[in-house]
Chain A
Amino acid sequence: MASEVATQGEGPSGPPGSRGSRGLGDRVASFVDRHVVGVFVSPGVAFVVVMMAFPVAYTLYLSVHEWVGGIDQPPQFVGLDNFQRLLEDQRFLLALGRTFLFTGVAITFQTVLGVAIAVFLHREFRARGMIRSIMLMPMIATPVAIALIFRLMFQPQLGILNDILTSIGMPPLAWTSSASTALWSLAAVDVWEWTPLIALITLAGLSALPEEPLEAASVDGANGWQRFWFVILPMVRPVVIIAVVFRLIEALKTFDIILVITQGGPGFATETLNIYVYNTTFQYMRFGYSAAMLIVYFLVVLGCAVLLLRFRRAKD
């Protein structure tokens, strides 16, 4: 994306108008239109290019510099040292692994649950509108507020989750206070927040499907599970995959809930790439090193998106 932005520039000449030119008047109008596209679009494009192309170029510049301790210090050119150090940085490599683990767990659960809920809800009943409203709430409620409430819920003594567990005869859990469960607890928050999005997108996909294949399948004697697995799922798969790719890119970038609930702790147990980069920059002020990390991070996100879209095209 970044290179695209950089090379596009803010050229004001749009592609020629798509309307066929019939007379002289139309030709004049089309000539005007062509410039209008540039005039109308360039401010927005210019803003985005300035706000993004500059940072991307600047990040590249920073990544080959050592710059520690505050913005008053002069940056020093160090070549590829930062990248070499990354390869030996245990904390970075573990954060990278955690990013994938968190994303994998969260996406798997929200996809399975989301599709299941969509299939379950895809029928006529009263209160459909109400259901939609309820499902909308987790993803639209301010993430910081939601994270604070989960932080309270996860408290071993105060929080309600352990009260519920013990009241049904289960042992209490450490949730976010133990290194072994913290990342999973955070993934659960992401699942809670984003399962509805997968469900709603899948539901929209289901509504657009024709019913003939399903009828044919039931005439052929397919049972509920077979109809789901062999008819519904293949038809709705393209929609689900798009939703998953989108969620995957977002989950790799998860920040709010991790920073608010655990700040990356206990220890470094929930420190994902986003959090590590954030701390490296704003706590330790190591701008050059974090820039090198950002480049790796950006490539990871881009790579995941490209891989998944390839996979989707191959399947179709």
Chain B
Amino acid sequence: MGTTTDTERSDEMAPVEREPRPVRDPNSTWVRVRGPLRTIGFYTLLVVVLVPFLFVFYYMVTTSLMSPVDITAADHQWTFTPTLDNYRAVFEQTDFVRFALNSLVIAAGALVISWVVGLPAAYAVARWNVPKFALIILSSRITPGITFLIPWFILFSRAGLIDSYRGMIAVHLIVVLPLVTWLMISFFEELPTEVLESAAVDGASVFRTFLLVALPMVRGGLVASSIVGFIFSWNHFMFSIPISGRSTETLPVAVFNFMSYGQVNWGAIAAAATLMVLPVVAMALAVQRHIVRGLAIGAVKG
């Protein structure tokens, strides 16, 4: 006999048929929703739970489509005539495209180096079981970022790396590299060892096996971890503020700086925020499972 796990509505829930397996697969559940009233009750509560999460995004998008009059009105305007003026303002009054390109270039640079440096490391850790090395790479994720930000700032200032792509890519790499490495470890671990070993028996060097046998087999994982790494770089803020300058400002830094210039144009801010969030959310939905794993790296394995 199955049971409900929800405390408040347990008396309303229908008993469910028993499943014979002792350990359940990830998609199965204890409770099935049955009966029209229960269904309505459940979905009502579901909406109540989810509305707060969605509302902020709804507010962001609607504000970005409002005219200044509607935004500053005494009461919130639930109905309004949408306008694209705010988006026009973002593109005309700021170098939005250039900031987006900066974000893109820096994330791409960090990703490519993460592939070159992180993929072999992940492969070695997964194949020869040397978690110690992986933990060293992970330690950058656990230490408060500001601990190394300040020495970097001083060093980068001396070396002339402030406001350079090289400097920005280096600091973003410390975010992206552990992520890509750790996600790839689990993809490499799933590979059947026999295939890799038979390649070795056939005389392929370890490097060739890695490059020509293992990598093609994890290309799905490579796409997923790259998207996750890209998102983390795109979102990153703290390291970028002191290390970036006029010519290497990433989107979050630039949009944050909009606020400092005199009057705050909330419509344009909302439009910029929407433009910044949109690609990330779109990409995130494509690789859902890996995002949560990426966010929980260190929690799960550390």
Contacts and interface: CB of A to CB of B under 8 A. Distances in A.
Interface of A: 1-2, 4-5, 8, 14-15, 17-19, 29, 32-33, 36-37, 39-41, 43-45, 47-49, 51-52, 54-56, 58-59, 62, 71, 117, 119-125, 131-146, 148-150, 152-153, 158, 160, 163-164, 167, 192, 196-197, 200-201, 204, 206-212, 214-215, 217-219, 223-225, 227-228, 232, 242-243, 245-247, 249, 252-253, 255-256, 259-260, 274, 277-278, 281-282, 287, 290-291, 294, 297-298, 301, 305
B152 interface: yes
Interface string B113-142: 000111011011100111011011101101
A82 to B, nearest CB: 14
Summarize A's interface: helix, strand, loop or mixed. Answer: helix
A281 B144 contact: no
B53 A294 contact: no
B52 interface: yes
A17 B136 CA distance: 19
Given A14-B128, A143-B237, A207-B24, 4 more contacts: A37-B130, A125-B46, A255-B237, A294-B144
Interface residues of B, number: 120
A32 B274 CA distance: 52
Q: Which 3 pairs from chain A and chain B are nearest by CB?
A: A224-B10, A246-B299, A55-B148
B222 interface: no
Given A36-B206, A131-B50, A277-B146, A224 B296 contact: no
9 contacts: A5-B136, A48-B178, A136-B291, A138-B56, A146-B277, A148-B270, A228-B5, A253-B144, A255-B146
A287 B150 contact: yes
A298 B147 contact: yes
B56 A123 contact: no
Contacts of A39: 120
A47 B177 CA distance: 10
B300 interface: yes
A163 B56 CA distance: 14
